[in-house]
Amino acid sequence: MTRSLNFARRPFRNERPVVMTLIVAFTAALLLLAANISLYAAFQRETAGTAEQIQSLERRRDRAAHEAATSQAALNNYKVSSLAQESRALLKLVAERRFSWTGLLARLERTLPSDVRLTRLTPRFDEAADTYIDCALVGRTPDAVVRTITALSRDPSFSAIDLRAESGPEAGTPEGFTFEIYLKYRPAGGAP
């Protein structure tokens, strides 16, 4: 059977409520789709900001860890440096305690020329436990200075001899020629 398309014939169908329902449903679907899209975009923006915050916090954590490691290394170096300084001070103290005045005076008595007198003697100890002697001497003649430096240079216990000052009888010293010598002293006469 075929249907005829006679629209004037009764009963005719009223399809308006169905169409209205479809339009309302379609409009609601479009509105819900737009709401979902906006919620998705807001979620993406929020998570992107959170990801950036996480990355920023991770960078700050790494930077803080690096600074802490650097500070710890500096502290360890300071401790090592402090210990080294303390050990040098202890070596200096040991050198001062082990210093033999009788050995030094006996060595100077054998080494110095007979016409030279010792007026002042000051030992100094550096952090490497080396001993330096600062001494003031008086000789009868100007030649005593040269003979004293030569005699000290020949002795293996004395090295790095430095003439610091020299003055004659015209400077107000009635005893003779005064001079000051600074030298390094090794009690055993061994290598420096």
Among 7-16, 51-60, 98-107, the minimum mean pLDDT is found in 7-16
User: In the prediction, which pLDDT does 101 show?
Assistant: 83
**Structural domain spans, the chain:** 16-98, 100-185
Q: What is the pTM of this model?
A: 0.50
How far is 33 from 147, CA to CA, in rounded Å? 112
Residues 51-83 have pLDDT tens digits of 788 888 899 999 999 998 888 888 777 766 777
Residues 133-183 have pLDDT tens digits of 999 999 888 888 899 999 999 999 888 888 888 887 776 666 788 899 999
Torsion of CA 24, 28, 33, 34, to 10 degrees: 100
| Residue 189 predicted with pLDDT over 60 | no
| Domain 100-185 fold | Alpha-Beta Plaits (3.30.70)
How far is 27 from 20, CA to CA, in rounded Å? 10
As given in the structure block, the two tokens for residue 89 are: 């001070």
User: Which residue shows structure tokens 């440096």?
Assistant: 81
